[in-house]
Amino acid sequence: MTQSEISAAVAQAAKLAKESNPLTPSITNTVTINFVANAQLAVGGSAAMVYLPDEGVAMASVGAAMYINVGTLFPIYEDTLPLTAAALHDGGKPWVLDPVAIGMGKMRTDLLLKCKPYKPSIIRGNASEIIALAGLWGLEGGSHTSDVRGVDSTDAVYAAKSAAIALANWTGGAVAVSGEADLITDGRQVVISKGGSAMMPSITGTGCSLGGVMAVYAAGASPFIAAVTGAAVYNLAGKRAAAYVKGTGSFQSAFIDELYVATPDDIAQNPFTVEEV
């Protein structure tokens, strides 16, 4: 796709989300549930938070798309996550995987291994998480030794480029690597989305909620365009909110406001570059 074609598709994805209000359930980090739900609502989605195995399978059926985050795990998630991922895959529903804190504990490792055959439509993480997931799944560019420090990345975004491309080629979807500038790829093209704010890593949930917002857009757009649209609206909202707030507390509130008021044209015009793989 050309840059102008991507911009037009981003505008359409943002417009459709506002018009269609897609139900986009999430299994997400307990620290960030409220932020994820409010961000999804701000961009036009309908949020629902899920814990139990039967709920996950039911929501996979009735939802337009879904978001799964492995941040804070409970024992019941050993059943909930694989059953939900399988139902999404079997039903042909788009879903977003966030491999938060990959490598911390056997349960999280086992669950992420079980996700591989269910091929998430979008994988969103920081550079270290993307490199580690590619390593766990035995793909090019991956490494089991990538230094994931909890939810923080110790790798630069571009260091994850080959891992992101390999993951996208495996899933047939898209991979988004979050950082100072975001890298999004479908295995054939790479978009670098720019903007944001230095305050974003200083509030809890910007990454988690971004995955949830990408799921909202995935309800009506291709995985690649959904991921690019999510990155664009986040970088736009972060830049705008940072221009008038005093600190991180007011930034979080202003950020949600800016997600809400951003127009499809605003989002499509957020700066980005395109590279061919």
Q: Binding site for ATP: residue ranges?
A: 124, 178
State whether the Cα torsion 7-194-129-71 is positive or negative.
negative
Angle, helices 206-218 vs 3-20, to 10°: value is: 90
What's 5-65 look like in SS3? HHHHHHHHHHHHHHHHCCEEEEECCCCCHHHHHHHHHHCCCEEEECCCHHHHHHHHHHCCC
Residue with tokens 């993951």: 167
Output b/e per residue, 162-194; b: 16+ Cβ within 10 A.
bbbbbbbbbbebbbbbbbebbbbbbbebbbbbb
Rounded CA-CA distance 31/47 in Å is 16
Q: Are strands 95-98 and 23-27 parallel, antiparallel or unpaired?
A: unpaired
Please give the annotated binding residues for substrate, written as ranges: 49, 205
Please give the annotated binding residues, written as ranges: 49, 124, 178, 205
